[in-house]
Amino acid sequence: MTLQPRRTELTPNGIYIEPCTYCPLDCALCYTAHKTQRLLDTQWIYRAIEIYAEALDTVGLFWCGLGEVLYDRRFAPMLDSLDARYGSKLVHVIQTSGQIPNSPVLTRPENRFFAVSIDLPVAFNETHRGKGYTARAEAFIARALQNGAMGVQIKSLLTVQNLQVLRQSFDALQRRIATQSKLALPDVQSRVTLEPIVPFQRDEVEKISSEAFVSQGDTANRETLLQTLKHTMPERWAYLTSRPRTIELALTADGLFNCCEAVERIGDLNELTSLNYATIVARLRESMTNCTSCALEGVC
């Protein structure tokens, strides 16, 4: 049983943006080189969004990175500036650890969706990510919902052990957030969803020649993990084994790539001064055939 074969699809209206590389956390399964801070120059962020916004009615921006975007002081003002310019044309998906419950990024949430990393159950999360992590993340989520965020996705790394209690742990998390946010439980249940994540394997990460990665990742048997997932959460197993592999324009401090792991380069940042939307999409389409030879393609 594997996650292959899967088709590759282009997301023509989405941009992955990695504004910074630093995160103070040291999560056990993290495979990114997140201890050094490198910043993506905002001129390239604004230019890429300008290219897409001129060509499309709606642009989805996935803000993520090697590090934690909320530790980048440029981030919240930049989102406000972009929203002031483009209005409802932009939809922001913000990947975060949620460790700053009073972040200014929560003050204008109407076009913002948050993806928060919490590895359920709580005991596993606290061991993996650090003591107090869960309470801070839940406070962040509660405030996001109170302020009218579009929704919150809980990204939870899968292990054979936590799969046994994942569903009930998530139900309990939704109840705690309902209590903290003072929102009705059905409202929270409709807006807070679970996204189980199959971890990258250490041997896969080691095959990628990139300074963005470190020699770390899961070492458990993936076949056993998938078999357990099929029995405990069959609907999630069906999704993970059939979902398409997606590519989109990815901006990092190292250049232009075709996915969030920034393996397949499609150009340099300074090319954004002359590139247009059609040319970017053509490069993305051309790069799609290379995805099947990537060491990470099985779970990306």
**Domains along the chain with CATH numbers:** 8-293 (3.20.20.70)
pTM of the predicted model, to two decimals?
0.93
Q: Quick one: what percent of the chain has pLDDT higher than 90?
A: 65
CA distance 281 to 289: 14
Of 28, 23, 19, 89, give the one whose Cα is nearest residue 55.
Answer: 89
pLDDT at 239: 86
Beta-bridge partners for 92: 61, 112
Of 117, 82, 107, 108, give the one whose Cα is nearest residue 197.
Answer: 117
Q: Quick one: what percent of the chain has pLDDT higher than 70?
A: 95
CA distance 15 to 92: 10
Residue pLDDT, tens place only, 235-260: 988 888 888 888 999 999 999 999 88
131 has a pLDDT exceeding 80: yes
73 has a pLDDT exceeding 60: yes
CA distance 300 to 287: 15
Q: Tokens for 238?
A: 């069906």
Residue pLDDT, tens place only, 256-290: 999 888 788 999 999 999 999 999 999 999 998 88
Of 236, 204, 237, 209, give the one whose Cα is nearest residue 220.
Answer: 204
Residue pLDDT, tens place only, 14-25: 999 999 999 888
The 3-class secondary structure across 28-94, one letter per residue, is CCCCECCCCCCECCHHHHHHHHHHHHHHCCCEEEEECCCCCHHHCCCHHHHHHHHHHHHHHHEEEEE
CA distance 94 to 64: 6
More confident residue, 101 or 220: 101
2 has a pLDDT exceeding 50: no
Beta-bridge partners for 32: 213
pLDDT at 15: 98
Burial class (CB in 10 A: 0-12, 13-18, 19+), 131: exposed
**100 by DSSP, 3-state: which?**
coil
